[in-house]
Structure 1
Amino acid sequence: MSQTVLLKRGLLLEYLTLGWNVVGVILVVLAAYAARSVALAGFGLDSPIEIFASVVVVWQLKGINLNRERLALRLIGIAFIALVIYIVAQLLVTFLTGAHPATSVGGIIWIAATFIAMLLLAFGKRVTGKKLQNEVLLTEGRVTLVDAYLAGAVLLGLLLNALFGWWWADPLASLVIIYYGIREAMHALQESRSMKEAEEGSKA
């Protein structure tokens, strides 16, 4: 498969991610308002981070020969840090307020669909990124995977709250995502530093 075809596939995956998350921001915020759900509201606020990461990858793929990879990796690393900060903030707010949201059937359906969609998109980005040997697409694919894990955690929390009234299940489930997000942020920033050192070494 030619690099041109792979680039088009990579861009298509990012456009699908962008479209899904733009729609998701609206739907999730409306569902969160109706159910007064901190978890849903928090997930809605996560979508702009994924949108930002996708925009960075589109920018890099459209200028793949313009030495944008190092800066793109740094920006994605920052996006991961923002994601971790958001999850920690959500965790603290949920526990401190002891928020007991109402059941949101629409929210549960959308989050379940998002979980599946993000897993499929993350898989597509990993396969395409490996064939392109594009670290930026691979790294952003991990952002999408974290988004899927986050959707899974929120979905589990919503279901446990709806079935058993366990309002604290959602913030506890997010702890694993905090660990994963920190690890991937460090990976992206380290890759960016390694590229910078290689560039400086080649100029010496």
Structure 2
Amino acid sequence: MKAKERFFFRLAYGLAVFTIVYNIFEGIFSLYFGLEGESVTLFGFGVDSFIEVVSGMGIAHMVRRIKRNPQEKRGHFERKALRITGTAFYFLALGLTFVSVFNIIIGHRPKATFWGVMISVFSIVVMWAVVLGKKKAGEKLQSDAILADAYCTLVCHYMSMVLLLSSVVYAVTGLGYIDSLGGLVLAWLALREGKRCFLRIGSERPLLF
């Protein structure tokens, strides 16, 4: 293996590990402040972060495997991680939909969205840098699997933007249902990602951008 290839494999693996650690801390803060501020969007964002931890473990394992043997088929550990991740996304979508609709019906208003703004802005910057790094590594290594991981991180970036938009709009307008609408958008994204996970289980060629 050439030195350039080794560098990009190290980059891909390092970014996968960073994504795991980052999502753990992001999840803890989002769940705590989501509960404290009674924000369904921020809480849902926190749950998604922990789902991404499971997904990230599968990705890190995958990067190590394809470094050893690029032609090897998808491993059992990766399929199991995808199955768990996909199922968790479906439950997240169901839970967010139920809570969001219920909150709209009763006219629930979150206490505050300050932390939603702070966490989402930080996440948007960090995740975009990670997406670019993973995409660069995937292109240089001509790896569909690493490019697919970059796409998953891009979805996290989109979720951060949804959180930011709903938090800012609520802070400006004070309309309680805005937070719940943000939760419904997150539910839709979670449903899409859950479907993609199960599609990837049976595909040797990961879904790309």
Distance change >3 Å, CA 107–CA 191, structure 1 → 2 = closer
Name which of structure 1's ranges 107-116 and 185-194 shifts more when overlaid on structure 2.
185-194
8 Å CA contact 1:129, 1:138 repeated in 2: yes
Q: 1:201 — aligned with what?
A: none
Structure 1 match to 2:147: 138
Kindly state the Cα deviation for residue 138 of structure 1 after the two structures are TM-superposed. Answer: 1.8
- What is the aligned-residue identity percentage? 22
Contact 1:53-1:140 at 8 Å conserved across structures: no
Instruction: Note the C-alpha offset of 1:97.
Output: 2.6
- After superposition, residues 76-95 of structure 1 pair within 5 angstroms as 76=82, 79-80=85-86, 82-95=88-101
Shift of residue 42 of structure 1? Answer: 1.2
Superposed CA offset, 1:165-199 (max 9, x none): 22333443566666665556555655553439xxx
CA distance in 2, matches of 1:18, 1:51: 5
Scaled by the length of structure 2, the TM-score of the pair is 0.78
* Residues 29, 41 of structure 1: 8 Å contact kept: yes
**1:36 corresponds to which of 22, 35, 38:** 38
- Once the two structures are TM-superposed, the CA of residue 44 in structure 1 deviates from its matched residue by 0.8
Match status 1:164 vs 2:173? yes
Contact 1:6 1:132 in 2 (8 A): yes
Per-residue CA distance 1:80-105 (angstroms, 9 max, x = gap): 55335413421321221333101232
Structure 2 CA distance for partners of 1:142 and 1:88, relative to 1, 3 Å: farther
**Residue aligning to 1:62:** 64
Q: Which runs of 5+ in 1 are unaligned?
A: 197-204
1:121 aligned residue: 130
> What is the total number of aligned residue pairs between the two structures?
196
Q: 1:132 to 1:179 in 2, by over 3 A?
A: farther
**What corresponds to 1:202 in structure 2?**
none
Q: Distance in 2 between matches of 1:177 and 1:69?
A: 29
Q: Give per-residue Cα distances to partners, 1:119-173, cap 9 Å, x unaligned.
A: 2212221221122222322222222111111111111111111111223334435
**CA RMSD after TM alignment:** 2.8
